[in-house]
Structure 1
């Protein structure tokens, strides 16, 4: 009875608050901050449940849709539904099938109000596991009930109110949102505008990109296709201001009118201008792939693309062949300029295809191993750049699949492009057999983008400068044809709304790209060891893939490196770490401890002790460190320091596989006992799977408890003592503190993290 009485008082307070004369609430001032704190972590980007994007006024007005963006089995491509691009205004989205979550339906409250009421009526038990029958997996079927379907939904899914399966809104937040909804949910649009200083730089870059002349137009198009995904920012610009490069029907100085094409290299259908459009709404980390613009960068573009006397008298058109083979489309631009531009910013380009939209879902990421290092071939040793005759022979073979999505001919299309790729590998192998043997000069070392670490977290992945973690099982060596093909296949040409044929062709060709990068690296190893490494990378069923789809490796041509007998790959990796110590952005004493001191320099004694203790966990396989089998892919450790500050570490589970050569059946290739951990300072994921909060003086006890875990019950005790479950009363404080940490340590990279993958431990 007391609870019912409190509910009546609460509802009366809402009625009074929304009565005539009550102060009107502001969406931008009062509501969006609440949505940013409690909703955006799930409702943002393409993978927002029911496509309900709550990162800004445009998304909340658009509403929800039953049609999922990520669907690897659809037979027909879906219509694109990109905010700010594919429709403008609420009515336009209604015509595309989106339903309002703000409008009352007759006597029924708005859908958002009812979802919040359902969540509040069935809160999770504080810091307890969620019910086992509550499906929180990202591949669950979202119900997306229409207003008339809500009663049946609430009856069947009583624990699926909002916020979903997590600690809910505070009393004050709930009252504020419900009052706003009762007032008719007015939305005052807020538009981010460039500052005066930014406008000057915008004008400079738009002038470059829209310069007249065939040569200038071709370069502008190439730059657009390579920067369209970036969150561009100006060095010295306003903090939190980012821009997107778009094609507009209107020139500089006029309001931007974006042209909506499925891909950035599709025919725009009319005259257009490249424009820098301010990015609106809340920045979320998973899509926040940053790229700096500056006077120095502008000078570099002019140096690379316009300093030489190359010419062209025509600009290629658009179409299937132009998409399939950018090497032909942009052949007039010196390849040295194209490759060097990508090398200068290699981390950005690798991020686009590792963190970009192609990497949502296991079927996209299971083509890569859980951790590996990426290196790049020096332009002076890249025959595609230095040998015109070789380039002429190779270019027709570099076309990529996925432009046709005929389901009935998937295998035929795939075999055609596979055979072209293998013919290219055969040509490349012969050409490099006659070239000077590879040596240290083969590897590009121009800046700190030269050494990259990639970590896969089952259905997502990340990139970081430097060599992180133990020496990985595989390394990639990418030359210009590989880097450009990877970027076009997985970013420019990939259609997240495409059908199963398009997605399958993309995934299958990425498998060949990985194999090509591995083969490039094997040239650095002694010929007699190459087959052994390849056999280790393609165990069991992988041997069938090697026989069926891959070009045979070169086991004869010598290398210029001299390695000791035993394990030349490890010798190379150790030499790489030492040789490029000044270039390596990531010294890593926790995972690669050399001697007694397994911690970074410059730390307090207490934090040194914490890192020393943490260093006991990496480097041990799951067969000997049983707790690894209990851990998800990406766990964050928040270490509380006595001065009121905290340190944050990522604890990444590296799953081992006999091979990563097939689209399906990953569990059949999983080698559970060989899993390992990497522990590294910072937030190395956009999708935390779990979090521990540990006082610095307790870290040795935490590590000891982890070492003693043998079963689920023992791990549950660790979680009970230090874990932050979805139902923790202070969940949102701890979760958003990870974003605050990024803002403090890497402010340009800061954004709201995603909690769709946060586990029920």
Structure 2
């Protein structure tokens, strides 16, 4: 009995000790880093109903793209929960590729983002408790902004840095006090009129109660779900031909926001390669590029975009029954076969003409022409959010047309196609800096060989020269046949039709040019790429522009070509022409009738070609541009209201001169939105500043090549561009005074006076409401294209 008592006592003591250890251990659990935040039992606000609208109207205008400050993207619940990072997406000096940080692709949980260096802006990760507002970086940012407002309608102090050249310091909660002391006006919303008292109180309480988020709901109707299933079935067909076509379609649509136009209220979707089959949640494969080796079996899936749409990246593409029938006709009704399915090796990624050689070239070109505006938008507007290195290769305003598929050489002549395909590879796959020089020499040499071969082929095929029948007329119905491209410093826009004054240059794109441009700037471009990758991309895009200009010169008289070309390539560009470009043909004839008067000057030649072009494609033109090309101010648009005709008449003089005659043109920002209003009516216009250059042949030194006295202004109805640089709010009865004041402006002080009277400054109490109204205008006039405008480039006039 004594032994049993000792054993019992020992057991009791052991159990007591074990329980004590467990209690101590459990009491330490809540101090682990990255613990789930404690949230209030009662939530005062619903995220989607109450919080998202505030962020959407006050914060997402800066935090919506790759260049969002500190990579803090607020357009989705996932982005808010991911938080911020000190790593910069845009770094033109990095030697190696950076690790991609794409929302919804490169990590699938908040913890995974923490492992990639992102830190919370909602909670102090070590405390994880509600009510501790000082641990929330988001709260401290909005509190700093609310505590230090700017005087209404004032210009910002010079110490406040705005624009893409501004370097963000990205403070963490531990360094915020120092940040606030050094940057008393560094709170959110940054450098604008701030939150209202009610908005600040709502966000503060939401954060104090745990900052609970919720993804945007997605509840497709039965009709929409049926469309998803039908399209996923189409993309996942078996058979070598079908799979190759699906790969081709995926590589051309991965950047698109897909929608079903015949279904009211259709959501937008993205096409992804998923590890999971239809019927399960999509799990995108995290490849850097859409033509990288997937490394495993996959399915093509339509994944809903559960985020606020941003105009810059909102590049739409419609899927409907007519589209599916068209693809069946183009790709799957012809008699062709796949000998060996292509892989994902270097040669296949760098040359899509080899990869998809089995698909009839005519079908590929016609597919791109069917949606030419989409493809040009994709490489002009996306996938980057800041692209001066790419955009400085193009002029500020020019037109783009396409070779007719009935006559285009590559798609119609198998022998010519076999000779040229090996010359159409694209650089940039190798990111090693040491490969930059060798890669450039190899690819530029092949491109020039191709251009000479093309010139000889066309000269032999058409000894009388080019004629207007070679220009695609949209088959009499497709308005994508005529496009205008506007560059806005480090971004660009596309609009159907021929807009603005007759440009200095026109691009004529054939299938090899269109496909190469798309693959070089979209499919093969890596926004996280190295200096070598970005440089190779930029240098080859220079050759693409030069090739499109060579194509255009075939359509003007031989005796006019040298003068045109030397206008495009002034100064040192002529030296580069001798070294890097193929020779321009100066002797081949043209089968288009020109008069002697038409060849007296470069403007006369361009005007004569424009008349021929408009006659050729009259059925698909967007109508005469009566704002910017209207001799003697006699043009009228009878379909417009009396008030809008009056507005047009007042604005017209701004769009028909140069800075030499209207000096304010050279002073205006790249994009200025106008809101003209009377009572409950309002009309929206955009003033687009087109800067003239001596040439666009070099990657650096653009400022030295500007010719401001030759700048022009294009007046557009509606909005144009993703990044308004300024806006004006003008009562209709004051519009004559506004235009007169602009035309009288000679210097920055004069422009400042105009801005003081009619401008919507960043500090204006109505700033956010007016920016939102421009978006509402697009929702009313073209709802499928509506997205948030980005104000990162909004200037301090």
Instruction: Give 1:363-378 correspondences, 5 Å limit.
Output: 363-378=389-404
Between 394-403 and 603-612, the greater mean CA deviation after superposition: 603-612
Could you tell me how far apart the structure 2 residues matched to 1:260 and 1:278 are? 17
569 and 502 in structure 1: CA distance in 2 versus 1, 3 angstrom threshold: same
**C-alpha contact 2:258 2:316 (8 A) present in aligned 1:** yes
| Unmatched tracts of structure 1, length 5 or more | 1-17
Map residues 284-433 of structure 1 onto 2, 5 A cutoff.
Answer: 284-358=310-384, 360-433=386-459
- CA shift for structure 1 position 316: 0.6
Over 3 Å counting, the alpha-carbon distance change for 1:759 and 1:257 in structure 2 is same
Distance 2:765 2:266 in 1: 30
1:474 aligned onto 2:530: no
Corresponding residue to 2:164 among 113, 132, 138:
138
Matches of 2:539 and 2:613, distance apart in 1:
31
**CA deviation after TM superposition for structure 1 residue 22, in Å:** 6.0
2:284 corresponds to: 258
**Counterpart for residue 778 of structure 2:** 742
Q: Distance in 1 between matches of 2:299 and 2:252?
A: 16
Cα drift, residue 713 of structure 1: 2.3
Q: Distance in 2 between matches of 1:132 and 1:47?
A: 22
Q: Is the deviation greater in 614-623 or in 19-28?
A: 19-28
Structure 1, 569-578 or 96-105: larger mean CA deviation: 569-578
Q: How far has the Cα of 1:314 moved from its partner?
A: 2.5
**Match for residue 67 of structure 2?**
47
Shift in Å, 1:594: 3.8
**Aligned-pair RMSD on alpha carbons?**
1.5
Write the deviation string for residues 203-247 of structure 1: whole angstroms up to 9, x where unpaired: 111111111111111101000000000000002224261000000
Matched, 1:444 2:472: yes
The total of aligned residue pairs comes to 743
Aligned counterparts of 1:576 and 1:514: Cα–Cα separation in 2: 20
Give the corresponding residue for 2:580: 549
User: Secondary structure at 1:379's aligned position in 2?
Assistant: coil
1:633 equivalent in structure 2: 670
Alignment match, 1:84: 104
CA distance in 2, matches of 1:458, 1:633: 7
Deviates more, 1:223-232 or 1:406-415: 406-415
Moved more, 556-565 or 676-685: 556-565
Q: CA deviation at 1:19?
A: 12
- Measure, in 2, the Cα distance between the counterparts of 1:688 and 1:190: 27
Contact 2:224/2:266 (<8 A) preserved: no
State yes or no: 1:165 paired with 2:191.
yes
Q: Is the contact between residue 739 and residue 751 of structure 1 (CA under 8 Å) also seen in structure 2?
A: yes
Counterpart in 2 of 1:65? 85
How far apart are residue 52 of structure 1 and its match?
A: 0.4
Please say if 1:663 is aligned against 2:691: no
* Partner Cα distance (1:240, 1:677) in 2: 37
CA distance in 1, matches of 2:795, 2:268: 32
Q: Is the 8 A contact 1:126 1:728 kept in 2?
A: yes
Give the conservation status (yes or no) of the 8 Å contact 1:598–1:612.
no
2:535 matched residue in structure 1: 504
The counterpart of 1:610, out of the listed 636, 647, 657, is 647
* CA offsets 1:417-467 (integer angstroms, 9 cap, x no match): 100100111111111111123212101112110000000001100001000
Give the Cα separation in 1 of the matches to 2:424 and 2:397. Answer: 27
The answer (yes or no) to whether the contact 2:66–2:384 under 8 Å persists in 1 is no
Q: Distance in 2 between matches of 1:69 and 1:251?
A: 32
Q: Report the CA distance between 1:359 and its aligned residue.
A: 6.1
Q: Is the 8 A contact 2:236 2:246 kept in 1?
A: yes
Rounded to whole Å, the distance in 2 between the matches of 1:376 and 1:126 is: 50
* Contact kept in structure 2, 1:75 and 1:499, CA below 8 Å: yes
Match of 1:4 in 2: none
Deviations 1:574-608 (A, max 9, x none): 23224433311243101011444344323333332
* 1:515 match: 546
Q: 1:491 aligns with which of 522, 533, 538?
A: 522
The separation in 2 between residues aligned to 1:202 and 1:484, in whole angstroms, is 28
Query: Residues of 2 paired with 1:753 and 1:184: CA distance?
Result: 30
TM-score, normalisation: structure 1: 0.96
Matches of 2:787 and 2:236 in 1, distance apart?
A: 31
Alpha-carbon deviations, 1:617-642, whole Å to 9, x = none?
11222122121232100001111034
**Does the 8 A contact of 1:648 with 1:683 survive in 2?**
yes
SS of the residue aligned with 1:380? coil
What does residue 207 of structure 1 align with? 233
Q: Deviation of residue 109 (structure 1)?
A: 2.9
Q: Distance in 2 between matches of 1:525 and 1:711?
A: 39
Contact 2:260 2:266 in 1 (8 A): no
Q: For residues 65 and 535 of structure 2, what CA distance do their matches in structure 1 show?
A: 23
Within 2, Cα distance between the matches of 1:735 and 1:294? Answer: 33
Aligned to 1:453: 484
Cα separation, 1, equivalents of 2:67 and 2:41: 40
Which residue in the other structure is 1:568 paired with? 605
CA radius of gyration, larger in: 2
Q: CA deviation at 1:399?
A: 0.3
Q: Secondary structure at the match of 1:717?
A: helix
Residue in 2 that maps onto 1:590: 627
Secondary structure at the aligned position of 2:300 is classed as: strand
Contact kept? 2:83, 2:120, Cα under 8 Å: yes
Please say if residues 286 and 753 of structure 1, whose CA atoms lie closer than 8 Å, have aligned partners that are also in contact.
yes
Q: Which residue of 2 aligns with 1:654?
A: 690
Q: Does 2:745 align with 1:725?
A: no
Query: Is the 8 Å Cα contact of residues 686 and 719 (structure 2) preserved in structure 1?
Result: yes
Distance 1:206 1:296, change over 3 A: same
The corresponding residue for 1:6 is none
Relative to structure 1, the CA distance from residue 141 to residue 19 in structure 2 (aligned partners, 3 Å threshold; closer, same or farther) is closer
- After TM superposition, the structure 1 stretch with the greater mean CA deviation from structure 2, 79-88 or 19-28, is 19-28
Deviation string, structure 1 residues 361-393 (Cα, Å, up to 9, x no partner)? 311110000000000001111111111111001
Residues 152-173 of structure 1, C-alpha deviations (whole Å, 9 max, x = no match): 1111111111000001111111
1:150 to 168, 171, 176: 176
Q: Residue 654 of structure 2 aligns to a residue in which SS?
A: coil
Q: Cα distance, 1:195 vs. partner?
A: 2.4
- SS in structure 1 of the partner of residue 365 of structure 2: helix
Residue 617 of structure 1 aligns to a residue whose secondary structure is helix
CA distance in 2 between counterparts of 1:454 and 1:190 reads: 34
> Under a length normalisation based on structure 2, what TM-score does the superposition of the two structures give?
0.91
- Structure 2 CA distance for aligned equivalents of residues 481 and 399 of structure 1: 10
CA distance in 1, matches of 2:704, 2:773: 38
Distance in 1 between the 2:617 and 2:409 partners? Answer: 24
Distance apart, 1:357 and its partner CA: 2.4
Correspondence list, 1:95-114, <5 A: 95-104=115-124, 106=127, 108-114=134-140
2:250 & 2:652 partners in 1: Cα distance? 44
The residue matched to 2:138 in structure 1 has which SS?
A: helix
Q: Which residue of 1 aligns with 2:661?
A: 624
- Compare 151-160 and 352-361 and name the one that shifted more: 352-361
Aligned partner of 1:185 among 188, 211, 222: 211
The CA distance in 2 between the partners of 1:478 and 1:193, in whole Å, is 42
Residue of structure 1 aligned with 2:247, choices 199, 205, 221: 221
